[in-house]
């Protein structure tokens, strides 16, 4: 490429074979076409190299082959960034997919921040109906929680400016045992106060979790990604996928909020609420009795209706609760 690209896409790979062709294609199909894709091999076996060779038919793609490292080739990523010429650097796993607007979204965020993450949709084997949004914020208190819990967003969602990477005290280095490789790197940005960090809004990444596909062959993984690649070519499908996963997330958040509020209530508050409910039911009975007196000339027997209400389950439960000595004691202590 004669001019400097807007974005460098780093794709680490080992032995996933055919899935990398689909991951690379999702990068090359971005709304921003001025990019370079760098496939970083970490001891790639011969059977997987044929797939990588097909990716090299596009001049924007190059392959850096290295022997197997102690971990996941972190030092090779660092070497690749020494010769990168772009404004921003984004990462893509060799078995994930980007929606077409991912790089455009990241470029927008990285004009305001040094490090940014987009939202992702976790895709499970059950298909689109089983998808959920992976929600990880990196700013402020949320970022501190990620550091404390050693968690965070997937590799395919992250990116940073090249200038910010060169200001890091330490870039990509071999990850200590027991630490997730990508999160160890993310935390270098999040924990350093000199960097502005930012989380995205709508999801732009499809994450295909390996743990939920344990025992799958590379061919099966590639077949699944191929089907998803065809689906996301349709704008209506992408719109429905995002809308449905957001609606599901909102329901989960609403339910979680209701449970949290209930757990924060004291026993005294619950007793007061229960007493109010009992009094409300008793008032309804009195009102019904008064209505019976006023409308006793009607053909329909209000007395029968009153008996029905008195024998209804909710009223029986309310009366029984109002007679519980312990509850009465709590009421009296409160009032």
CATH number of the domain bearing residue 230: 3.90.550.10
Give 88's Cβ-side CA count (13 Å radius).
26
Query: Which tens digit of pLDDT belongs to each residue from 296-335?
Result: 555 455 556 556 656 665 555 555 555 555 555 544 554 4
Among 229, 260, 291, the domain boundary falls at 260
For position 251, what pLDDT does the model report? 82
Q: Is 110:8 a contact under the CB 8 Å cutoff?
A: no
Question: From CA 312, how far away is CA 317, in angstroms rounded?
Answer: 9
Query: In angstroms, how far is CA 52 from the centroid of its own chain?
Result: 29
Please tell me the pTM assigned to this model. Answer: 0.76
Give 247's Cβ-side CA count (13 Å radius).
8
| DSSP bridge pairs for 122 | 132, 207
What domain range includes position 134? 7-260
pLDDT > 90: percent of the chain: 58
- Verify that 35 and 181 share a domain, yes or no: yes
**Stretch 100-105: mean pLDDT:** 97
**Stretch 155-174: mean pLDDT:** 96
Question: From CA 125, how far away is CA 212, in angstroms rounded?
Answer: 7
Q: How far is CA 46 from CA 41, 100, 282, in A?
A: 11, 31, 80
Number of domain units in the chain? 2
The sign one gets for the Cα dihedral 258, 260, 261, 262 is positive
- Verify that 139 and 228 share a domain, yes or no: yes
For position 334, what pLDDT does the model report? 47
Residue 1 domain-assigned?
no
């Amino acid at each position: 490429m004669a001019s400097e690209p807007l974005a460098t896409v780093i794709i680490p790979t080992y032995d996933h074979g055919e899935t990398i062709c689909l991951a690379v294609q999702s990068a090359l199909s971005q709304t921003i076409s001025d990019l370079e894709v760098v496939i970083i091999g970490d001891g790639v076996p011969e059977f997987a190299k044929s797939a990588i060779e097909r990716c090299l038919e596009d001049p924007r793609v190059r392959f850096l082959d290295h022997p197997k490292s102690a971990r996941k080739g972190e030092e090779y990523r660092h070497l690749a960034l020494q010769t990168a010429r772009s404004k921003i650097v984004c990462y893509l796993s060799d078995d994930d997919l980007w929606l077409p607007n991912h790089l455009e979204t990241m470029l927008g965020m990285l004009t305001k921040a040094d490090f940014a993450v987009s939202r992702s949709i976790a895709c499970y084997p059950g298909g689109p109906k089983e998808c959920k949004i992976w929600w990880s914020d990196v700013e402020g208190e949320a970022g501190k929680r990620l550091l404390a819990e050693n968690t965070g967003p997937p590799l395919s969602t992250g990116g940073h400016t090249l200038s910010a990477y060169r200001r890091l005290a330490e870039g990509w280095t071999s990850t200590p045992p027991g630490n997730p490789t990508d999160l160890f790197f993310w935390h270098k940005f999040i924990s350093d106060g000199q960097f502005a960090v930012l989380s995205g809004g709508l999801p732009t990444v499809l994450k295909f979790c390996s743990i939920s596909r344990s025992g799958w062959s590379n061919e099966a993984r590639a077949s699944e990604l191929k089907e998803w690649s065809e689906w996301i070519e349709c704008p209506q499908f992408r719109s429905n996928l995002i809308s449905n996963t957001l609606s599901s997330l909102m329901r989960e958040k609403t339910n979680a909020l209701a449970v949290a509020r209930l757990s924060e209530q004291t026993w005294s508050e619950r007793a007061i609420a229960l007493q109010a409910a009992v009094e409300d039911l008793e008032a309804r009975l009195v009102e019904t009795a008064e209505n019976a007196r006023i409308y006793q000339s009607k053909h329909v027997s209000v007395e029968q209706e009153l008996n029905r209400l008195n024998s209804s389950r909710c009223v029986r439960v309310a009366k029984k609760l109002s007679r519980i000595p312990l509850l009465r004691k709590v009421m009296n202590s409160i009032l």
